[in-house]
Amino acid sequence: MAFTHRLHVLLDEEQFTTLTERSAAQGKSVGALIREAVDLVWRQPPDERREALDVILSAEPMEVPDPEALRAELDDLRAGRFS
């Protein structure tokens, strides 16, 4: 892929630190990380993700307990009463 456009972006200190640390950890340039972020956030999702979304959205509705019953079940799980 040929890169044909240059972009000047101003970041605050925290954003810059995050990018440079992630860049070093992943062995990628800051520019590569930004290009990946643009692809991830604004480009159309890949076919597999779109198909998975279609499956989820076409699923039959499921029964959900009333909020008090759900709260009690979660409390039991947190207390280790289920195995």
Residue with tokens 């990380």: 33
Q: Give the mean pLDDT per block of 10 residues along the chain (83 residues).
A: 91 95 94 90 76 90 88 89 62
Q: What is the pTM of this model?
A: 0.52
Cβ count near 9 (within 10 Å): 7
- What does the alpha-carbon distance between residue 19 and residue 25 come to, in Å, rounded to a whole number? 10
| Structure tokens, 82 | 């289920």
- Report the pLDDT value the prediction gives residue 82, as an integer from 0 to 100: 63
- What does the alpha-carbon distance between residue 63 and residue 26 come to, in Å, rounded to a whole number? 43
